[in-house]
Amino acid sequence: MKPGSIAIVGAAETTELGVIPHMSQIQLHADCAWNALRDTGLKAADIDGLACAGEMPTNVAHYLGIVPKWVDGTAVGGCSFMLHVRHAAAAISAGLCKTVLITHGESGRSRIGAIPRTIVPASLHGQFEAPYGILGPPTMFTIPVLRYLKTYGNTQEQLAMVAVVQREWAAKNPRAMMRDPITVDDVLNSKMIAYPFRLLMCCLVTDGGGALILTSADRAKDFPQKPVFILGTGESVETPMISQMADFTSSRAFRVAGKQALDSAGIRHADVDHLMIYDAFAHLPLYGLEDLGFVGRGEAAAFIAERNTAPGGKLPLNTNGGGLSYTHTGMYGMFALQETVRQVRGTAAAQVKGVQVAVCHGVGGMFGASGTIVMGDRQP
């Protein structure tokens, strides 16, 4: 895939975000899909490729009245949408379809029409992790961090600082759910969830969705919005069991996906004007900054504390407020992609000046999967 040969020509979130008890999960897919179609001026009949996670593509295609010639139901957790972007770009390049709609909708908070979360007792996770009192991501995704902190001599105060800085970004964003400024003390005095993680180090739980529309770059000029070009992509998976993650201080899936994306875009770290790193919990930006090579091993906490990623810093990170403060439906990756598109278009609430190259990095499962997308405002 040639860098810049595919473009995002439509992008939108659900009309409302946060608490939406009057919409079922499938309707959240539809709401953002119609908004994204409106963004492009296209009709559902113009869509010939469909990708989604959470709901099966069958459900979304039927609900919207789409007749796809290409579908992708890759579901590897919250970064599934990064993988969809990658797969869609490849499919368009290969001539399998022309115009792809990617949808995310999740009633994560209100649980209206939500798909029940189940553990298969005969799976390896069901046999060798589930019996030990796990209860969702706060009890699994979090387990590696004490090893990380000890390895690099980092502190819980530094972990808390991740949430503090992201709240500064959220304060600039009217759509962010949590906007009041917080201090390190506020974070460290918030309710203990799973030591060392306190409430303000954990993501929100919300309802919402987002949709993207991709097509070939040569058609992009026909659409009303400024096109956002796909420069590079990467993806990988490691393990469905947090206990079997090879290195608790670094994600192999992050390293593989991140390197593929940056290499295929042909960019260096210094070229990156804007960065999103999926933050289901406060430690994820630390792993992401290091595993993508923006800083050395063990340097991320100091990098954030020194305000490099804060408003006015040299590497603006999670500028919508992130999963910690903006929104987190369960599979947040779509919202990281939406913010990246807005920043490259120049339409974000907390707009960074002159974003030409942006990197959007997602995680799925509990460090189980990863997808990275490099976007740019022009073809190379």
Partner 1 sequence: MTERPLPAITPETRHFWEGARSGELRLQRCAPCRHVYFPPRPFCPQCGSPDVTVFRASGRATLYSYVIHHRPAPGFMPPYSIAVVQLEEGPRMMTNIVDTPQTPEGLQLDMALEVVFERISEDISLPLFRPAGRAA
Between the alpha carbon of residue 174 and those of residues 11, 182, 339, the distances in Å are: 18, 17, 13
Instruction: Single out the segment in contact with partner 1 by CB under 8 A; choices: 47-55, 132-140, 174-182, 293-301.
Output: 132-140
Output the six-digit token pair for 305: 């504390």
State which residue, 241 or 337, has the beta carbon closest to partner 1. 241
Q: How far is the CB of 87 from partner 1 (least distance, A)?
A: 26
Asked if 112 is part of the footprint of partner 1 (rule: CB under 8 A), the reply reads no
Give the distance from CA 4 to its chain's centroid.
21
Minimal CA–CA distance to 252: which of 267, 242, 262?
Answer: 242
SS3 200: helix
* Distance, CA of 258 to chain centre: 13
Among 58, 127, 347, 356, binds partner 1 (CB under 8 A): 127
Cα 306 from Cα 287, distance rounded (Å): 17
Neighbours of 255 (CB within 10 A): 20
Considering only 206-214, 240-248, 260-268, 329-337, which stretch makes contact with partner 1 by CB under 8 A? 240-248
Contact with partner 1 (CB under 8 A) among 95, 116, 117, 131: 131
CB atoms inside a 10 Å sphere around CB 199? 13
When asked if residue 150 is in the footprint of partner 1 (CB under 8 A), the reply is yes
Q: Is 119 in the site for partner 1 (CB under 8 A)?
A: yes
Distance between first and last Cα of the chain: 13
Of 89, 130, 129, residue with least CA distance to 7:
89
Residue 117 per-residue DSSP state: P
144 binds partner 1 (CB under 8 A): yes
Laid out side by side, the sheet with 274-277 consists of 70-72, 49-52, 100-107, 207-216, 6-13, 228-237, 369-376, 357-364, 274-277
H/E element, 158: helix 156-170
Beta strand 357-364 with 274-277 is parallel
What mask, x for binding partner 1 by CB under 8 A, covers residues 196 to 215? Answer: xx------------------
* 126 vs 181, beta carbon nearer partner 1: 126
Assess contact for 236 and 269: CB atoms under 8 A: no
With respect to partner 1, which residue has the nearer C-beta, 113 or 138?
138
Residue 241 C-beta: closest distance to partner 1, Å: 7
Work out how close the CB of 281 gets to partner 1 at its nearest, in angstroms, rounded to a whole number: 11
Which lies closer to partner 1 via its Cβ, residue 73 or residue 240? Answer: 240
* Whole-angstrom distance, CA of residue 93 vs CA of residue 2: 9
By three-state DSSP, how is residue 236 classified? strand
| Beta carbon of residue 129, minimum distance to partner 1 (angstroms, whole number) | 5
Interacting residues with partner 1 between 284 and 323 (CB under 8 A)? none
Out of 60, 145, 170, 261, the residue judged to bind partner 1 by CB under 8 A: 145
Count of residues in contact with partner 1, rule CB under 8 A: 36
Which span (107-115, 241-249, 264-272, 355-363) binds partner 1, by CB under 8 A?
241-249
Nearest to 230 by CA among 338, 341, 91: 341
* Residue in 139, 155, 216, 379 binding partner 1, rule: CB under 8 A: 139
Contact flag: residue 241 with partner 1 (CB under 8 A): yes
Nearer to partner 1, 244 or 347 (CB): 244
As measured in angstroms, the least distance from the Cβ of 193 to partner 1 is 6
Instruction: Provide the mask over 158-197, with x wherever binding to partner 1 is found by CB under 8 A and - wherever it is not.
Output: ---------------------------------xxxxxxx
Residues 122, 180, 353, 354: which binds partner 1 (CB under 8 A)? 122
Integer-rounded Cα Rg, in Å, for the chain is 19
* Tokens at 10, concatenated: 């439509």
Question: Can you give the length of the chain in residues?
Answer: 380
Taking residues 248 to 287 in sequence order and writing x for each that binds partner 1 by CB under 8 A, - otherwise, the string is: x---------------------------------------
Q: Which residues bind partner 1 (CB under 8 A)?
A: 119, 121-122, 124, 126-135, 138-140, 142-147, 150, 191-197, 241-244, 248
